[in-house]
Homo-oligomer: A and B are copies of this chain.
Amino acid sequence: MSAEKLSFEDFEPGRRFALGPKPVLAEEIIEFAQEFDPQPMHLDESAGRASILGGLAASGWHTSAMLMRMMADSYIVRALCEGAPGIDLMEWRKPVLAGDTLQGHSTVLEARQMRSRPGMGIVKFRHALENQRGEVVCLSENSVMIRMRLPPEGANMSSELPA
Cα-based distance from A66 to B85 in the complex (angstroms): 17
Interface 0/1 of A133-153, CB less than 8 Å to B: 000000000000100000000
Least distance between A48 CB and chain B CB atoms (Å):
11
Tell me how many chains of this kind the complex includes. 2
In the bound complex, residues from chain B placing their C-beta under 8 Å from that of A25 are none
- The interface size of chain A toward B, counting residues with CB under 8 Å, comes to 44
In the bound complex, residues from chain B placing their C-beta under 8 Å from that of A41 are 83
Let me know if A35 and B69 touch, CB within 8 A. yes
Chain A residues numbered 103-153 whose CB sits less than 8 Å from any CB in chain B = 145
Cα-based distance from A39 to B145 in the complex (angstroms): 13
Not counting A32-B65, A35-B65, A57-B83, a sample of 14 additional A-B residue pairs whose C-beta atoms are within 8 angstroms of each other reads: A39-B72, A39-B76, A39-B83, A51-B83, A52-B160, A52-B161, A54-B159, A59-B68, A60-B83, A60-B87, A61-B64, A61-B68, A85-B93, A90-B90
